Amino acid sequence: MHKYFAKPLFLGKKIEFLTECHSTNDELLSRIRIKDEQEGFILYTDNQIKGKGQRGNAWLSEPGQNLLFSILLKPKNLQIGHSHYLNLIAGLAVCHTLDQLFNLNTELKWPNDVYVNDRKIAGILVETVLSGHLVDDAVIGIGLNVNQSHFALPSATSVQIETGSKTDRESLLESIVSGIEAQYLFLKSQAYDKIKAAYYLKMRWRGELHEFRDNNGVFEGEIIGIDETGRLLVKTLEVLKRYDVKEIQFLH
């Protein structure tokens, strides 16, 4: 048996299960367009017909095997310029939960793909609703491979593959939500440096020489971190480069 964390205190008070939907992110975004939902509202499902990934990709998941959920945050006073911290805290929450429950050694491929043993175990898609220069609502969508044991992509893994056993998805959801709550409190107290330092400890390839591709072709460089707007910083022999998410590919 794995040990699960204490119940979250203020997130996940309202939680709704959908047997199937297009995308929990889209569903939650359309709910808040119609009606003011409370912070911490969670929608989760067994199957997404149109699961969304980053960069316009699809998120594919075997029905009934994995965690597919979205949680609503209402971060009062979060400046748009700091909105990338929502990505960082969500990634950290997933990593810390998986490490503690299953003794995994997760890493975060910038901005927030969760990796174990060089394979992706979870993806995160944060979508925000803005009001002036502040983030009004944030929908954090998480797809975590839990009990699926075969993938079309050799670069994907799951908790089942990594640990050899099945996991109760609802207990795991509760643990991740507790983790999000803990990280969210750091964000609310504007502990940006602390969050960034925790992120750097988990950041995949940081401080190592690797190959990347950008608009100008393939090059070798070293990830040194992220800048104040969340862009990736890669140092080459000649120059320090900054990238948005669509502008760079990690090769090997």
Structure-token pair, residue 104: 């995994």
Q: Count of residues binding ligand BTN (CB under 6 A)? A: 20
Quote the CA–CA distance of 79 and 231 in Å, as a whole number: 16
Q: Does 8 bind ligand BTN (CB under 6 A)?
A: no
Question: Closest approach of Cβ 246 to ligand BTN, in Å?
Answer: 12
- Asked if 15 contacts 71 with a C-beta cutoff of 8 angstroms, the reply is no
Complete edge-to-edge strand list for the sheet that includes strand 209-214: 240-243, 232-235, 217-226, 209-214, 249-250
Omega within 30 of 0 (cis) for the link into 111: yes
At its nearest, how many Å lie between ligand BTN and the CB of residue 114?
A: 9
Tell me if 75 contacts ligand BTN by CB under 6 A.
no
User: 28 vs 198, which CB is nearer to ligand BTN?
Assistant: 28
For the four alpha carbons of 172, 173, 175 and 179, in that order, the dihedral sign comes to: positive
Which of the ranges 1-9, 45-53, 195-203, 226-234 carries the binding residues for ligand BTN, by CB under 6 A?
A: 45-53
Residues 126-145 that bind ligand BTN (CB under 6 A): 141-143
Among 78, 184, 60, 86, CA closest to 139: 86
Is 54 a binder of ligand BTN (CB under 6 A)?
Answer: yes
Q: Which residue is nearest to ligand BTN (CB)?
A: 123
Among 11, 29, 41, 48, binds ligand BTN (CB under 6 A): 48
Positions touching ligand BTN (CB under 6 A) are: 23-25, 48, 51-54, 57, 59, 68-70, 113, 123-125, 141-143
